[in-house]
Amino acid sequence: MVEFKLSAFADEYSPEIDKQIEWLSANGLGLLEIRGVDGTPVADITLDKAREVKAKLDRAGIAISAVGSPAGKINIKDDFDKHLEQFRHLIEIAHILEAKRMRIFSFFMPEGEDVSLYRDEVVRRLNVMCDIAEEEGITLCHENEKQIYGETPERCRELYEATGGRMKCVFDHANFISCDIEPFPYAYNIVKDTLCYMHIKDANAEKEMVVAGEGIGNIPETLATVKNDFEGEFVLTLEPHLIEFDGLKGLESEGHTSNVGNKYKNTDEAFADALSSLKKYL
């Protein structure tokens, strides 16, 4: 039987790390998937800033579930050596924050081209990153983001196997929906034994982000199945995307941004609905 642990991309609630911590504490969440710190992407903060954040998290009794890094979120034709410099910096940040997991991606594909042409280069790059992370004791967790090589469950599984199982998978329902793929049961059954944790984000048939359980992701059914398929702790990271927030455009590729709907007055309302819905299904 699984024990669900709740985390959140709290930079959607506020760009300020102090307010992120306040929200997590007020709502009884002891985990943060850190992605933005005081308006700066986690990959760009200094090591001193990381130490400052760690001290604040320690005082609040909050741990890091994963570093929500942008590693692998560049075009496959971009300079990988330069990207590796940032990746190594992220590894140092992960150590300071005592994070054992790092979310990554498998590179944006050139539009209109056959992605199979880039398969070998994607695998090569991911294995280089896995070599570094493995030596540092950090597990890389690949997210099924739209427009990257691993946007489909079949290619997510392919990359898991091509990295010798060293790179696990993060399951994102809404991202599969945005690619016209049924998240559950179809995608889930393909990748379930590769999963490390799950993002909680749902979308409707029009690909508009909605509260978990109100879309076509079959999130309640997924969670019921996860409860029986896994043992021990299983992290669910709240990533509602229900309202425009600082930094959203910087997370997605040009021309492929999420339809957040903006039906809420503020992030307090959006996060309250997102969390209460998830807790109801749990």
Nearest Cα to 6, choosing from 29, 36, 38? 29
pLDDT at 266 > cutoff 80: yes
State the chain's mean pLDDT as an integer: 95
pLDDT at 141 > cutoff 80: yes
Provide the residue ranges of all domains of the chain, joining segments of one domain with +.
2-281
| pLDDT at position 263 | 81
| pLDDT at position 244 | 75
Model pLDDT for residues 142-169, shown as the tens digit of each residue: 999 999 999 999 999 999 999 999 999 9
Per-residue burial over 132-156, b = 16 or more CB atoms within 10 Å of its CB, e = otherwise:
ebbeeebbbbbbbbbbbbbbbbebb
CATH for the 2-281 domain, from 3.20.20.150, 3.40.50.11810, 3.40.50.10490, 3.30.465.10: 3.20.20.150
Model pLDDT for residues 42-63, shown as the tens digit of each residue: 999 999 999 999 999 999 999 9
> What is the C-alpha to C-alpha distance for residues 35 and 204, in angstroms, rounded to an integer?
25
| pLDDT at position 161 | 98
| pLDDT at position 6 | 98
Mean per-residue pLDDT, 168-189:
98
pLDDT at 31 > cutoff 80: yes
Q: How confident is the model at residue 260 (pLDDT cuts 50, 70, 90)?
A: confident
| pLDDT at position 259 | 75
Q: Residue 227 is inside which H or E element, if any?
A: helix 219-229
| pLDDT at position 252 | 53
Mean per-residue pLDDT, 85-105:
98
Q: Percentage of residues in the chain with pLDDT exceeding 90? A: 92
Residues 6+ apart with CB under 8 A from 121: 76
The packing angle between helices 47-60 and 17-26, to 10°, is 20
| pLDDT at position 234 | 98
pLDDT at 257 > cutoff 70: no
Model pLDDT for residues 207-250, shown as the tens digit of each residue: 999 999 999 999 999 999 999 999 999 999 999 999 976 655 55
Lowest-pLDDT choice from 29-38, 134-143, 235-244: 235-244
pLDDT at 180 > cutoff 60: yes
Whether the CB-CB separation of 151 and 114 falls below 8 Å is answered with no
